[in-house]
Structure 1
Amino acid sequence: MPNETKATCCTDDACCSPKEVTFKKTLSLTPVNPAVPASTASCCTDNGCTAEIKEREEEKGASILENGKHLEYRIEGMDCGACAVTLEKHMRSLPYVTDIRVNFSTGNMKIVHNTTPETIISEVKKAGYTAIPASSQRKAAKAPSSYSGISLMAVSGILLVLGSLSSLVQVPSTIVTTLYAASILVGGYKPARSAYYAVKSGSLDMNVLMASAAIGAALIGEWLEGATVVFLFALGTTLQTKSIERTRESIRSLMDLAPPEAWVKQGIALTRKPVEEVKIGDTIVVKPGEKIPLDGEIAAGTSSVNQAPITGESIPVDKQEGDPVYAGTVNEEGSLEIHVTKLVEDTTIARIIHLVEEAQEKKAPTEAFVDRFAKIYTPIVFILAILIMIFPPLFGWGTWEAWLYKGLELLVVACPCALVISTPVAIVSAIGNAARHGVLIKGGAFLEIAGTLQTLAFDKTGTLTEGKPKVVKVLTINGTEQDMLAIARTIEEHSKHPIAVAIMDYTSGQHLSSRQGENFTTIVGKGAQAIIDGISYYAGNLKLFQGLHAPTTSIEKQVLELQNQGNTIVIIGTHDTILGIIAVADAIRKTTTDALQKLKKIGIHQTVMLTGDNEGTASHIASTAGVDRYFAELLPEDKVAAIKKLQENNHVVAMVGDGINDAPALATANLGIAMGGAGTDTAMETADIILMADNLEKLPHTITLSRKALRIIKQNIWFSLIVKFIALGLIFPGWLTLWLAVISDTGAALIVIANSMRLLRIKN
């Protein structure tokens, strides 16, 4: 795939490959909703679309910005994907609504309008749901306790029981019918209201189907059946809503990690302020045992900080002056003074919440397919039910009442609720679990890819190794060691490469200073050059000096020996003279070997190391770390070729790096995984999956979680379909009743939700 920088979005969440949605961009754009008018929508190039992309700004996590007021609401009462579609269609029909997206998975509604928030809340209520405005920090206000839905369901159930008991003690039939009718009216009020708005907006959701079944049962005199249908539907809906809210709360609980107030130092006094009032540059004080309220750098004090809420690391990290700290982490020991570096809405924890919510809104390919299937399936079954009610009795193949009853059963069975929620609830649960363990999965599509990985390719420096190499040996060939090191320092002082930093640190320890240099040049993949006292000096690998035709024969044996010991070699010299050799070594991370062993245990076929280092160093690091294969002496473009080679025979390959370097390789791989996201904004923007800790410790858990999520999604889909087909098969022999049809639908939905919620409990 070409390494473009232009962002692409989809009019259907699944129409683009994940790479096109993520790695062709710098800023993360949320896929545009299919319902957005064509003039504002963007399309995939491989779909042949030509609609222009209308530029969409992002401000504090907002993903819809147009003329008018942009607001976000939490919607309560949505227990099925069709509910979100119905609400979105209803709101879109209003003249003062410019743009809207309702997401079932997160329970959020993002809307642009030219009216008051009270009007929006009122319109949402008309459709049968409750809208709660989110605050500017993307933290929803605490929902007021509302028992209206439960109360109506309870009253409906009581009336149903009274009607059933009355029929057993020879009470007049009119009283029994009145009790059943009252049960239908009370329990069916909210579904009927939602059904009205669904029909008005052109949707066929479960409220329409259930309301039709209840009304039909009453019309043919099956009052008990109608009341039972309404009560069971209300009960199932309530249980589904409560269960789904638990999965949504798995992310919302992250919002409570950071404290709402901070102690701000003003002179020698401390003032307690809301975090919203704290500015960048302010100094806050965090006492032992307190949570850190905002991101910043330690200005004074030392302590151990528990970063588990952000990175998932179980062991506290020692912090001292100059080290970064993050909101939501816990100061365990000493008192700290912290210079604030980010406002409350820009903290790492706020960005995590935003990215996870965006991830939950992006449909996985499986979810998109199921949604498309449901859109076709439901109308077909609805029409089939109407035909069954009319044609058989017309041809004298039975009574009108019998075929009307079968048609009503088919209407109830037509609800694809369990099937529609089979995927999104599992994905929300898995993404929520991963976020709590310090891993950000940026969409269901990437979760699915992670579950099918066969090969993992790792960048060496900073991924498998510490990324902080040190000078371990210095050999002087010509001249003095001090002169050679001073020249090396001069050449490397303009580079940020880890090896250059190691040489700078070493020469600083030797109290050596740089010389006057000019025309500093980086030679990609080989080294660097500078002119000192009118002479061109070079610092680089053996290939560089062989290309310069410098006299390298006498040092090649020494270089090879040092490389075979796992050292990276930096040669210092000119076209004519070799001044000396500096050996630099990078230690393997403590967690690397353990993580690689766990990856093999969970069935990863092969692990591969990609590095620009020489063959000897690569071989030593590969054998010590325990990777299966390695590619050495690679330029950035060579790493892309290596990834493509690994992808041969349709192998699914992930590239693991730091999210800053190796961008082409990350983009080429089926999945890009960045580590150290807590410290780098780039990692959080560019990768598909982000390991917030600066190590591979959570990678095996991520892959295990993804695989279990895929298994559960498949289980849910097959279970939903099997239950549906069994129910359909029982209709025509007359073995299915209306209330059994309701139980088959709502019961299957509850089982699917419970199965998906198992993903929340999977531990590392």
Structure 2
Amino acid sequence: MAEDGKQGGCCSGGHHHCSSSHEHDPGESNAGMRLLPVVGAETAAAGALSLAHADVYRIAGMDCSSCAKSLEKHMRTLAAVQEVSVNFSTGKMQIVQEGLTDDAIVREVSKAGYSASPLSRGKRGQAKQSDKVGTVLAVISGVLLGLGALLSLGGLPEAIAIVCYALSIVVGGYRPARSAFYAIKSRSLDMNVLMSVAAIGAALIGEWQEGATVVWLFAVGNWLQTKSIEKTRDSIRDLMDLAPAEAWVKRETGLVRLPVEEVGVGDVIVVKPGEKVPLDGDVITGESSVNQAPITGESIPVDKQAGDAVFAGSVNESGSLEVRVTRLVEDTAIAKIIHLVEEAQEKKAPTQAFVDKFAAMYTPIVLVLALLVILLPPFFGWGVWGDWFYKGLELLVVACPCALVISTPVAIVSAIGNAARNGVLIKGGTSLEKAGAIDAIAFDKTGTLTVGKPRVSRIDAGKGDEDEVLAIARTIEEHSRHPIAQAIMDCAVGRQIASLEGRDYRVLPGKGAAATIHGQTHYAGKPALFAELGVSTQEWTEQIEALQRAGNTLVMIGTAQKILGLIAVSDTVRDKLVAAIGKLKAAGVDEIVMLTGDNRGTAETVAKQTGVSRYFADLLPQDKVTVIKQLQQDGKTVAMVGDGINDAPALATANLGIAMGGAGTDTAMETADIVLMADNLEKLPHTVSLSRQALAIIRQNIWFSIVVKLAALVLIFPGWLTLWLAVLSDTGAALIVILNSMRLLRTKE
């Protein structure tokens, strides 16, 4: 069995013993590359197929998801439109069509009461929209309403005041009425329909001031909601401005300033002190300290030198760097972060999907009830028709579930935006909800709890030659990419020990590897491998036990007849790991488990150092799956944390897959449920706490919305609720829900 881990390691000439370990499987390589589980992958894939070549437009003026549905239905009535998807959370419309120009699409969106602007994917600096027309109309409507009220108080003829109220209704209600018309035409009911009916109804029964007040409050409420929601949408949009638009490119004639879109892979760019890195690349000359916080969330600058990778958007703080570009502008880590986060914000969480279904049934039911309230009591002679008509209008206004529908998506967008700015990619509402519900985390050891860059700490050849043992080990290991094999290779190179002539290389999964050298089969692997071969390890017992107690992984070298020597390899626990695990426990994760293929003694040493609750040692890949399943059977919601390359079965079995080091790993960024962009665990406690807070805020929003609706419904029938108060309760509740959700934007570690 091979532990997860990064390649690397170096030979230590001394005999120090680090208290961490690696299980050994020299044959394991990227052939075992995993695909982490993606919740709802089938649905996402279907959507991606139909909208893969869609034109994208930013939509302004939507105040809840029912508006998005109405716009969708309207656009589908056009013969040229093949597929359309409008997402309220991100304020975007994706449309597949033939023959329509941008202007034609913008006009059609305008008919439905919203404004649209083309949005080219991959282009930076998209301007934020402002609905100036809506603002002007709301102001004029308010002035006319106030003027009408003043005229009424001044004792002037009532007809003059009514004219002002009527003009206020027309000016403020023009756009809602237009949207209502197209909503009804496309067979959908939204707030615009309900408000338009309420305003017209109030005018019909002579309540002109009431109707004007309803229209104006609705306009102001929409304006406030739109402004607030845009702030949550901008939480990730601001990342677009992090990377500079131009780069200093090295040419034969000198440095040339070029737009980043014109810089190709392989070009050499120069990043001066104090400048931002414009594109992803590898440093070829120079040394500097680089602040990678915008990408990985790391608060401390990272030292860079030749051979190290740098990311677009990071800040070069000291020395000048020459960087060879490895990715085009549209493929940089920051571009992928923006794209993946916006995709994540478009995915509905289970709670949101349930609320949307509930709202879809709830609105028509209440509309029918409103009609019954208007018609039945007067028919049976219970009261005056005008009074019941007024109560029916109030019920219509209260019927709109805006606050309820908006309760989940705004919270999710805010939380995902916050996480992205802190170097964590949460891949959708489902992943966010699961992260908030986890009560057990299983960590792979190598490359996750430990650094994953082992070093040879000791070579023991007994009465033989250490160099000969190392030469044999190098010969067997040079066909492997496993971290322990790499550590042995590095040590051999450092000592200038050449490999021997070998053939018939074999991998012994979970045990080691073998090769034929000088006509005889030689083995490198666990002590247990030689026990299976029938080779006595008795004379090595004391060394094996001592080294394993010290946290070393042992690679025995020998033949089917005798052991030639052993090589001890050690790893180190990650910095700040103990503090991170302590914070996870404080956040409510009551079980933290370490999974390893190492022997029990080594596992116990690492467990004591890290503070994990339990550890499982001597595990083969299938055994890790068994442990995950057992935790789930015990009623735990389990997250599995790995480095994004190996341990596919365990990661797929867990409720939530979390990958580390995503900034440099495309596979992890594309496939994990949650990606920690930096190669550390410091951000995991913040992610769990943020997710739990998001779930709490969603619950608060839902209950608050329901309570406000019930209270308004109760107040209708005694006659204590006026029409304008009904509007105020609806728009006010929606605004409070939005502001409550926006608290997630300010949540800090």
Kindly state the Cα deviation for residue 649 of structure 1 after the two structures are TM-superposed. Answer: 2.8
Partner of 1:86: 70
Which deviations, in whole Å up to 9, do the C-alpha atoms of 1:139-180 show, x marking residues without a partner?
Answer: 463146541100000000000000011111111111111110
Kindly state the Cα deviation for residue 479 of structure 1 after the two structures are TM-superposed. Answer: 3.0
Distance in 1, Cα, partners of 2:411 & 2:715: 29
Given the alignment, which residue of 295, 311, 315 partners 2:280?
295
Is contact 1:30–1:362 with CA below 8 Å preserved after alignment? no
1:534-549 to 2 correspondences below 5 Å: 534-549=519-534
1:376-391 to 2 correspondences below 5 Å: 376-391=361-376
Given the alignment, which residue of 93, 104, 116 partners 1:109?
93
Partner of 2:440: 455
Given the alignment, which residue of 82, 89, 112 partners 1:98?
82
Q: Does 1:704 find its partner at 2:692?
A: no
Is contact 2:39–2:430 with CA below 8 Å preserved after alignment? no
Q: Does 1:65 find its partner at 2:49?
A: no
AA partner of residue 108 (structure 1): K
Is contact 1:134–1:140 with CA below 8 Å preserved after alignment? no
Partner SS state of residue 566, structure 1: coil
Calculate the aligned-residue CA RMSD, in Å.
1.6
Is contact 1:262–1:275 with CA below 8 Å preserved after alignment? yes
Partner SS state of residue 437, structure 2: coil
1:74-473 to 2 correspondences below 5 Å: 74-114=58-98, 115-139=100-124, 141-143=126-128, 145-473=130-458
Is contact 2:445–2:596 with CA below 8 Å preserved after alignment? yes
Partner of 1:555: 540
AA partner of residue 539 (structure 2): S
Distance in 2, Cα, partners of 1:656 & 1:145: 42
Structure 1: 4+ residue segments shifted above 3 A: 23-33, 143-146
Partner of 2:707: 722
Partner SS state of residue 583, structure 2: helix
Partner SS state of residue 672, structure 1: strand
Partner of 2:13: none
Partner of 2:518: 533
Distance in 2, Cα, partners of 1:347 & 1:756: 30
Given the alignment, which residue of 616, 630, 646 partners 2:615?
630
Which deviations, in whole Å up to 9, do the C-alpha atoms of 1:426-474 show, x marking residues without a partner?
Answer: 0000000000000000011111111111111100000000000111111
Partner of 1:580: 565
Is contact 1:275–1:294 with CA below 8 Å preserved after alignment? yes
1:493-642 to 2 correspondences below 5 Å: 493-642=478-627
Instruction: Compare relative contact order (CA 8 Å, sep 6+) and give the higher one, 1 or 2.
Output: 2
Kindly state the Cα deviation for residue 28 of structure 1 after the two structures are TM-superposed. Answer: 9.6
AA partner of residue 210 (structure 2): E
Distance in 2, Cα, partners of 1:242 & 1:222: 31
Distance in 1, Cα, partners of 2:131 & 2:636: 51
Distance in 2, Cα, partners of 1:722 & 1:507: 71
Distance in 2, Cα, partners of 1:103 & 1:140: 21
Partner of 1:692: 677
Is contact 2:407–2:738 with CA below 8 Å preserved after alignment? yes
Partner of 1:657: 642
5+ unaligned residues in a row in structure 1: which ranges?
1-22, 34-41, 43-52, 58-62
Distance change in 2, residues 1:447/1:164 (3 Å): same
Which deviations, in whole Å up to 9, do the C-alpha atoms of 1:570-627 show, x marking residues without a partner?
Answer: 0001101101011110000112111111112222111110011111111111111111
Distance in 2, Cα, partners of 1:316 & 1:140: 27
Distance in 2, Cα, partners of 1:100 & 1:24: 30
Distance in 2, Cα, partners of 1:737 & 1:460: 64
Partner of 1:46: none
Partner SS state of residue 647, structure 1: helix
Partner SS state of residue 702, structure 2: helix
Distance in 2, Cα, partners of 1:725 & 1:138: 46
Distance in 2, Cα, partners of 1:674 & 1:631: 20
Is contact 2:600–2:617 with CA below 8 Å preserved after alignment? yes
Is contact 2:55–2:95 with CA below 8 Å preserved after alignment? yes
AA partner of residue 447 (structure 1): L
Distance in 1, Cα, partners of 2:41 & 2:82: 18
Distance in 2, Cα, partners of 1:643 & 1:144: 48
AA partner of residue 752 (structure 1): V
Is contact 2:501–2:518 with CA below 8 Å preserved after alignment? yes
Distance change in 2, residues 1:138/1:99 (3 Å): farther
Kindly state the Cα deviation for residue 477 of structure 1 after the two structures are TM-superposed. Answer: 2.8
Distance in 2, Cα, partners of 1:610 & 1:136: 42
Kindly state the Cα deviation for residue 250 of structure 1 after the two structures are TM-superposed. Answer: 0.2
Partner of 1:47: none
Partner of 1:681: 666
Distance change in 2, residues 1:25/1:312 (3 Å): closer
Partner of 1:488: 473
5+ unaligned residues in a row in structure 2: which ranges?
1-33
Partner of 2:31: none
Tell me how many residue pairs correspond in the alignment: 715
Distance in 1, Cα, partners of 2:40 & 2:726: 42
Which deviations, in whole Å up to 9, do the C-alpha atoms of 1:316-359 show, x marking residues without a partner?
Answer: 00111111111111111111111111111111001111111111
Task: Select between 620-629 and 140-149 the one with higher mean Cα deviation.
Answer: 140-149
Is contact 1:26–1:685 with CA below 8 Å preserved after alignment? no
Is contact 1:132–1:143 with CA below 8 Å preserved after alignment? no
Partner SS state of residue 645, structure 2: coil
Partner SS state of residue 63, structure 2: coil
Task: Select between 542-551 and 664-673 the one with higher mean Cα deviation.
Answer: 542-551
Is contact 2:125–2:240 with CA below 8 Å preserved after alignment? no
Distance in 1, Cα, partners of 2:125 & 2:71: 20
Distance in 1, Cα, partners of 2:613 & 2:41: 37
Which deviations, in whole Å up to 9, do the C-alpha atoms of 1:82-102 show, x marking residues without a partner?
Answer: 111111111112111111111
Task: Select between 384-393 and 555-564 the one with higher mean Cα deviation.
Answer: 555-564
Distance in 1, Cα, partners of 2:488 & 2:167: 84
Distance change in 2, residues 1:103/1:138 (3 Å): farther
Distance change in 2, residues 1:670/1:32 (3 Å): closer
AA partner of residue 453 (structure 2): K
AA partner of residue 52 (structure 2): L
| TM-score (structure 1 length as normaliser) | 0.92
Distance in 2, Cα, partners of 1:139 & 1:71: 16
Distance in 1, Cα, partners of 2:521 & 2:590: 48
Is contact 1:565–1:620 with CA below 8 Å preserved after alignment? yes
AA partner of residue 407 (structure 1): G
Partner SS state of residue 451, structure 1: helix
Distance in 2, Cα, partners of 1:450 & 1:136: 30
Distance in 1, Cα, partners of 2:38 & 2:703: 38
